[in-house]
Amino acid sequence: MDWKYTLSEPVLGDEEKAAVLSCLESGWLSMGPNTQAFEKRFSELTGAKHAIAVANGTAALHLALAALEIGASKTDEVIQPSINFVAAANMTKAVGAKPVFADIVALDEPTIAPAEIERHITPNTKAVVVMHYGGYPARMAEILKICEAHGLPLIEDACHAPLYRMDGFSGRALGTLGAVGCFSFFSNKNMTTGEGGMVTTDDDALAAKIRNLRSHGMTSLSWDRHHGRPATYDVTAHGYNYRIDDLRAALGRAQLERLDDLNALRQGHARAYADLVARASDTGMRYLYGSDPEGGTAHLAGILVPREARNPIRQMLADNGIQSSLHYPPVHLFTAFADTASDALPLTEAFAESMITLPMHAYLPDAAPEDIIGLIAESLLRHAA
């Protein structure tokens, strides 16, 4: 279908083409010098002591859990939101632990609620995962205090939030405030390498474990041996092939230098959406994070509508050439997690039944928010009549 407004689009230009071409011309395509430079720059821009590039965001989450030795006991539990992509819960299962799903703060603030974290802590709890939904910060000050009080490592799923620097944290970016941060550079993210991800930490020992597990537990890599240091290697852990390649790292380096500007463009679109939704308050429509739409990376543009109107509105948008989506179906309701007991999550389920994800990307046409919200407002008023 020829869409008038697409849900997301990567922003790729001459800088990215030149970076990839330079890598091709170098003759070194697997993990090597571009990866090292990408990691160094990501570390500089986020404030993380260590940045470790990996194959994708799911690999980042798996390595974080594995390096923290989550799942060493069959009774290990990891508290996390159900409103998230399934990767975090799948990787919790993959390491042999149990995901424990906690409810969100509010319908228009769909990040994990600090009180819900506290309520779900048991002697079996080994870690907490927060997800900065749509690129907007979870309530980090409160959550960090809870984790510190209980001696729990905090894993930040920052896949939506690259380079967002929070007030009150010395200019550090989301993904660098807990024990480990996990990022995705999938094609719909604010910066992309097609596939790819990053793990961040300030812990030297944890970083060494993550680097080791990233490449089969080997003590040296192909790039090291290419330069004769050393000639062979040992395998010291049962690791994985979660390496990124230098083509993707070269692309990531170019994207990273543009990311603050790209995030700012998204934030402008979020402000336009939020203002338009506020003007249509008589329809019952609400914009997620509408009180501070520029207070995150604006990875997603989401609205809440009456649940009975949600599917008709999505069909109306499609009929008008406008893509939409749902972020996300609750993980605890998926068939694969039927054996994972969960407390009632009323806000999570109500959110999932009434939210719609609207087009959002850096080069979204300026006219798009007004066109889209106008159509939705008309539809809601007709529905109400």
**Are 38 and 247 contacting, i.e. CB atoms less than 8 angstroms apart?**
no
Strands, E assignment, the chain: 50-54, 77-81, 98-102, 104-106, 109-112, 125-131, 154-157, 180-184, 197-201, 286-287, 301-304, 355-358
How far is Cα 255 from Cα 259, in angstroms, rounded to an integer? 6
- The single residue of 4, 17, 126, 189 carrying the catalytic annotation is 189
304's CB contacts (< 8 A; 6+ apart) are 107, 108, 285, 286, 287, 288, 351, 354, 355
DSSP 274: H
DSSP 83: S
Number of residues in the chain: 385
Residue the block writes with tokens 């040992």: 234
Cβ–Cβ contacts within 10 Å for residue 89, how many?
25
Beta partners for residue 241, in sequence order: 215
Task: Based on the residue annotation, tell me whether 40 is a catalytic residue of this protein.
Answer: no
How far is Cα 177 from Cα 181, in angstroms, rounded to an integer? 8
Q: Indicate which residues carry an active-site annotation.
A: 189
